[in-house]
Amino acid sequence: MQRFDPPTVKPGQRVTAWLFEQMRRAIYACRLIAGENVRLVTTPSGTVISFINSFPVSCAWQVSLQGSTAATLRPGSINKIEATIKGTPLDGGEDGKPAPVLEFGKPKLSKEGRGYICAEITCDPDDDWNILTVEIVQVADPDTEDGSASDGLPNASGGSAPLSGNRSRHPLAMLLKRKDGRLDVEQFTCFDLQHRVRLAADQKSASRHFFW
């Protein structure tokens, strides 16, 4: 470790250019540099030292926004079927591709400024309603056919509504548009999921989908 001690002078000694330079070096040598888990905010009146939370939180399905038009998700599965974005697994897959990005452009939001990142499943009714695919989508309402905002109240009976094509959606995270236009995300689901369908009275179509 090279230490730069500030030079000292005797009474009456002139401060030469060399001394001045030594003092400058000593001051520079004392500058704080942010290391691991440390954040420094340098202001004209001083430097604020913060220690970043040493408990990083990460979970399945964790949504990270990229600006306000795209998001990435940590891997998650439903009935052990891996979720994908346009067919690419959330971890990029076995061939080492980069993690896919959900590009949703201008987010679909309700009139209250809420939107959802959902896992949209497609089931096979001929195979005991087993899941065929799990695709990540961004919608304004999980229970409408096209993901647009609904006019009425939310689903009153709970569970996820059945959609055409034997689909259904489970919300993973909520998007909130703030007053200043900023987009925030609130994580909802943090674990890999299980799924079962409840059949309608005809015993052929689905009446509700349940996730847990």
Partner 1 sequence: MNLIVYASQKWNELAALVRSAWPFPGKNARLRYNGLSGVIVDGIAGDPPRHPWQMRCVFEYLDPAVAKYQGEGEWRAYVKPGFVNCRDTYLAMPQDWPDKPARGGPTRDVPLTEETPPFLVLTGSFRDPVASQGMSVSDDGEIIYGAGEGYPKFFEQLGVRPAAVAGSDPTPPSDPERTREIRAVDVVLDQPRIGSALDVETLDPLTDGFSNVISTTYTDAVYIARGGRPRLYTTAKFTPIEQQLIDSPFLGLPMNSGDPQVDERKIATIYLVSPPDAGSEAVPDQTWQAYPANEVFWNLLHATRFVAPAKTPEPLKLNTGLGLGILDTLANAYLAQINSGFDEISQYLNQADMRGKFWSI
Single residue of 3, 55, 80, 128 touching partner 1 by CB under 8 A = 55
- Which listed range, 11-19, 79-87, 100-108, 128-136, lies at the site for partner 1 (CB under 8 A)? 11-19
Q: Give the bridge partners for 206, in sequence order.
A: 199
Residue written as token pair 């230490």: 3
* Cα separation, 7 vs 73, whole angstroms: 55
* Cα separation, 84 vs 82, whole angstroms: 7
Number of residues that bind partner 1 (CB under 8 A): 57
- Number of CB atoms found within 10 A of residue 94's CB: 7
Residues in the chain: 212
Is residue 203 involved in binding partner 1 (CB under 8 A)? no
Whether 52 contacts 102, CB under 8 Å: no
Is residue 201 involved in binding partner 1 (CB under 8 A)? yes
- Which listed range, 64-72, 75-83, 127-135, 156-164, lies at the site for partner 1 (CB under 8 A)? 156-164
Residue 148's alpha-carbon distances to 50, 99, 116, 158, in angstroms, are 43, 27, 11, 19
* Cα separation, 161 vs 79, whole angstroms: 18
CB of 3 to partner 1, least distance (A): 14
Is residue 196 involved in binding partner 1 (CB under 8 A)? no
- Which listed range, 67-75, 78-86, 119-127, 175-183, lies at the site for partner 1 (CB under 8 A)? 175-183
Single residue of 11, 12, 46, 87 touching partner 1 by CB under 8 A = 46
CB of 96 to partner 1, least distance (A): 30
SS3 175: strand
What distance, in Å, lies between the first and last C-alpha atoms of the chain?
A: 56
Residues that bind partner 1 (CB under 8 A): 14, 16-17, 20, 23-24, 27-28, 30-32, 37, 39, 41-55, 57, 114, 116, 142, 153-159, 171, 174, 176, 178-179, 184, 186, 188-191, 193, 201, 207-208, 210-212
